[in-house]
Amino acid sequence: EKKYLEVEAFYLSGNQEVLLIINDYTPLHRMEENFKEFLGNASHELRTPLTSIQILIDLFSEKKITLDEIYNEFFPHLRKEVERMSKLVSNLLNLSRLEAGVIDLQLKEVNLTEIVMEVIDRLTPHISKKNLEVNLKIPEKLVINADPQHLDTIVFNIVENAVKYTPQGGLIEIGVNENEDNVILWIRDTGIGIPEKDLNRIFDRFYRVSKSRTNEDGFSTGLGLSIVKKLIERHGWTIRVESKVNKGTKFEIIIPKRKEGIENG
């Protein structure tokens, strides 16, 4: 990888000594590259459905197409495109709210199991389409202190990735380990995995391992995990990832148990 460095030199003590300051702009540069790529993809992604809608409006107003035809031929396709478009926009909104620090936590007692089940429910069409097996190793009820909506986003984004990046016929396992201090929620897949050099960057905004614009499951924004990371930090939790290329990936969310006494101030 190319480095982007800026070097400043100052003479000290009557030209006897030189102070060198080296600024490493590589991370900033990376971020900018990721962002440029994202902008290109996002604009394209937003324009596609808009173009379809535009064509439909034109055809319809010129009476070249009937409502029946619109309904039967265009709707299924259009619905998918609009879904992707709204997902992109809500991801962007979420991220910008998080960055602005205006999302607060509404902490409640939440049944983690229920959230996991709901997420799987919503992803069932994709899971069945790819013939994935989903194994749950999670108690029937596990109450934690969390913001239910944010917890939903966290679990959804991670499981959605597991589905997205696991080929036909693969396995996804979701489980919970508990010890004295923590509840650990883990999500494991037998998917394509993440190269070691990318592992610490997947939580960066707009970062994607593969640069291809879309896959069969739609647009990949590189936003999901950066939102996950922010929400997890906001809760005071941590996230860990382990992965092997062509073997699979495991995410762990470490949720500290509240200690008596601290909890009640």
Cα–Cα distance measured from residue 214 to residue 174, given in angstroms and rounded to the nearest whole number: 26
Residue 207 φ/ψ, nearest 5 degrees: -80, 130
User: Does 41 contact ligand ADP by CB under 6 A?
Assistant: no
Helices 112-129 and 148-164: angle between axes, nearest 10 degrees: 30
Residue 188 touches ligand ADP, criterion: CB under 6 A: no
191 binds ligand ADP (CB under 6 A): yes
As given in the structure block, the two tokens for residue 5 are: 């460095």
Stretch that binds ligand ADP, among 47-55, 78-86, 104-112, 190-198 (CB under 6 A): 190-198
| Rounded Cα gap, residues 224 and 237, in angstroms | 17
Q: Is 94 in the site for ligand ADP (CB under 6 A)?
A: no
Instruction: Give me the least distance between CB of 89 and ligand ADP, in Å please.
Output: 14
Binding-site member from 95, 127, 192, 255 for ligand ADP (CB under 6 A): 192
Residue 84 within binding range of ligand ADP, rule CB under 6 A: no
Cα separation, 219 vs 54, in Å, equals 21
Q: Give the residue, chosen from 155, 161, 231, 235, that forms a contact with ligand ADP under the rule CB under 6 A.
A: 161
209 binds ligand ADP (CB under 6 A): yes
What 8-state DSSP symbol labels residue 35?
Answer: H
**Residue 193: CA count within 13 A, CB half-sphere:** 11
221 binds ligand ADP (CB under 6 A): yes
Interface region with ligand ADP, contact rule CB under 6 A, candidates 118-126, 141-149, 217-225, 255-263: 217-225
Residue nearest to ligand ADP (CB): 224
b/e map 57-79, b = 16+ CB within 10 Å: eeeeeeeebeeeeeeeebeeeee
DSSP 20: E
Q: Which two tokens stand for residue 244?
A: 């092997």
Q: Strand 133-137 and strand 171-178: pairing? A: parallel
Contact flag: residue 116 with ligand ADP (CB under 6 A): no
Question: 152: part of which helix (H) or strand (E)?
Answer: helix 148-164
Q: Rounded to whole angstroms, how far apart are CA atoms 122 and 261?
A: 38
Give the ranges where 179-252 is alpha helix by DSSP (H): 224-235
Return the range that interacts with ligand ADP (CB under 6 A); candidates 16-24, 62-70, 121-129, 224-232.
224-232
Contact flag: residue 189 with ligand ADP (CB under 6 A): yes
- Does residue number 162 form part of the binding site for ligand ADP (CB under 6 A)? yes
Judged by CB under 6 A, the residue of 222, 231, 232, 235 near ligand ADP is 222
Decide: is 159 part of the binding site for ligand ADP (CB under 6 A).
no
234: its two tokens: 């906001």
Nearer to ligand ADP, 49 or 222 (CB): 222
Which span (3-11, 78-86, 170-178, 206-214) binds ligand ADP, by CB under 6 A?
Answer: 206-214
Interface residues with ligand ADP (CB under 6 A)?
157, 161-162, 165, 189, 191-194, 202, 207-210, 220-226, 249
